[in-house]
Amino acid sequence: MNIQTRYAPQIAWLLEGDAAIRYHALRDLTTASVTEIADEQRSILNTGWGKQLLELQDDTGTWSHALYAPKWTSTFYTLLLLKRFGAPQNTQIHKACEILLEQGFYDDDGGIKYWKTWKQSESCVTGMLISMLCHFHYDDPRILRMVEYLLAEHMPDHGWNCERYKGATHSSFHTTISVLEGLWEYEKAFPDSPVIPAVRTHQDDGIEFLLQHHLYKSNTTWKPVDPKMIQLAFPPRWHFDILRCLDYFQARNTVKDTRMADAIDLLRTKQTPEGFWKLEVNYPAKVFFTMERVGKASRWNTLRALNVLQWWENEQE
C-alpha cells in the first residue's frame, strides 16, 4: 500500500493547514495538477503565514531593520523561512535578496560575512544564503564565487566546518547540511554552470561524511553526537537534525545506503498512534508568530516525515 493510500487521513489533515503546508502536500503527496500546485504556491504570498511575514517587512526591504541578528526576526532568517515555505519570487523578496547579498558579500574570499570582526566568510551562512538566492531565482555572478568559496572550504573528512579557519579539524553536522542544501539549490538553479560536476562531487562527499556517522552518531562511541540532533524541529534554522537531513536526501533522491537505516527507524518510532509526528523542539529566540506548539502534532514534521518515508519505501519495493 503506497503512502498516499496508507496515510490518506493524515494527508487530508495537511491539506487543511496553511497555504505553505498545502503547497508542499499537493506537490509531493497527491496527484494534483501542475496548475493546482502553482496556484497554491502563489497563494503562500497572499494568505496565512507568508502574507504575515511580507506585511512585517520594513520600507527599506529588511525585517527588524537587521541583516542576520536578532534571531529569528532578522532579514536573513525571515527570508530563510519564506524559502522553507516554498514561496515564489516577488518584488519584496527580490529586494531582501539584494540587500543580503550586497551587505554580506566579502570580495576577499567570495563568501558571506556579516561581522566586521571576523577574518573570513562563514561557510554555514554562505550555504544558507545560496539556498535562498537560488530558490528565489536571484541571478548574480557573485553566487558562483560563493559556490567556489564553499568548494574550497571542503575539509579532508568530507564535510564543512565554519570554524575551520580557527583550527577546527572535524566537520560540523550543522555547517555540512547547510552547505549541502545550498549546493543542491545551486545545482537546480544553474544546471549549465561550469562548476556543476564539482558541486555534485562535493555533495556526494558531504553525504559520505554524514553516512559515516549514520547521520547523527559519533563514529567512536556510536551514541548521538547531540540529543537535539534526534529531536524534530521546524523550522530548523541553522541546526542539524535527522529530519532535516533525510528531507535533503529525499529531495535530491539520494542513492539509498544502509547507513541511513538507523535514522529512518528512529523517525518511524516518533510517529504517534494517530499517524502524526510532533514538534519536539523549538530553538529559543524571538519570533514574529508561533506556527506550531512543542509537544503537539506538527503538520510540518508530518509532511516532511511522509515525504521521507515515501522516498525510502518506494525505493525499497
CATH code of residue 63: 1.50.10.20
Q: Is residue 283 part of a domain?
A: no
Closest CA to 213 of 275, 139, 157, 168: 157
Query: What residues does 268 pair with on adjacent strands?
Result: none
User: Measured between alpha carbons, how far is residue 157 from residues 210, 258, 266 in Å?
Assistant: 10, 20, 25
Q: Is residue 158 part of a domain?
A: yes
105: part of which helix (H) or strand (E)? strand 105-106
Q: Report pLDDT for 31.
A: 96
**pLDDT higher than threshold 60 for residue 317:** no
Q: Report pLDDT for 116.
A: 86
Q: Is residue 31 part of a domain?
A: no
Q: Report pLDDT for 315.
A: 59
Name the residue range of residue 120's domain: 45-212
Q: What's the rounded Cα separation, in Å, for the pair 199 and 128?
A: 15
HSE-up of 159 (CA within 13 Å, CB side)?
Answer: 23
Amino acid at 144: L
pLDDT digits (tens, 9 = 90+) for 3-14: 889 999 999 999
Q: Is residue 97 part of a domain?
A: yes
Amino acid at 270: K
Q: Is residue 261 part of a domain?
A: no
Q: Is residue 178 part of a domain?
A: yes
Closest CA to 121 of 149, 96, 101, 154: 149
pLDDT digits (tens, 9 = 90+) for 115-144: 988 889 999 999 999 999 999 999 999 999
Q: What's the rounded Cα separation, in Å, for the pair 53 and 6?
A: 34
Q: Which cell numbers hold the place of 104?
A: 554580506
Could you tell me if 131 and 189 are in contact, meaning their C-beta atoms sit under 8 angstroms apart? no
Q: Report pLDDT for 166.
A: 86
Number of domains forming the structure of the chain: 1
Q: How many residues does the chain have?
A: 317
pLDDT digits (tens, 9 = 90+) for 103-116: 999 999 999 999 98
Complete DSSP assignment for 255-275: PP-GGGHHHHHHHHHTB-TTS
**pLDDT higher than threshold 90 for residue 27:** yes
Q: Which cell numbers hold the place of 18?
A: 496553511
Could you tell me if 265 and 218 are in contact, meaning their C-beta atoms sit under 8 angstroms apart? no
Average pLDDT, the chain: 97
Q: What is the pTM of this model?
A: 0.97
Amino acid at 103: Q
Q: Is residue 70 part of a domain?
A: yes
Q: What's the rounded Cα separation, in Å, for the pair 36 and 57?
A: 28
> CB neighbours (10 Å) of residue 306?
24
The shares of helix, strand and coil residues in the chain, as percent rounded to the nearest 5, are 55, 5, 40
Q: Is residue 133 part of a domain?
A: yes
CA 82, 83, 86, 91 torsion: positive or negative?
Answer: positive
pLDDT digits (tens, 9 = 90+) for 255-297: 999 999 999 999 999 999 999 999 999 999 999 999 999 999 9
Q: What's the rounded Cα separation, in Å, for the pair 106 and 120?
A: 8
pLDDT digits (tens, 9 = 90+) for 60-97: 999 999 999 999 999 999 999 999 999 999 999 999 99
User: Measured between alpha carbons, how far is residue 177 from residues 109, 205, 283 in Å?
Assistant: 21, 12, 17
Q: What's the rounded Cα separation, in Å, for the pair 268 and 26?
A: 22
**pLDDT higher than threshold 80 for residue 316:** no
Could you tell me if 233 and 283 are in contact, meaning their C-beta atoms sit under 8 angstroms apart? yes
Q: What's the rounded Cα separation, in Å, for the pair 216 and 223?
A: 8
Closest CA to 246 of 297, 317, 306, 188: 306
Omega cis (within 30) before 197: no
pLDDT digits (tens, 9 = 90+) for 182-225: 999 999 999 999 999 999 999 999 999 999 999 999 989 999 99
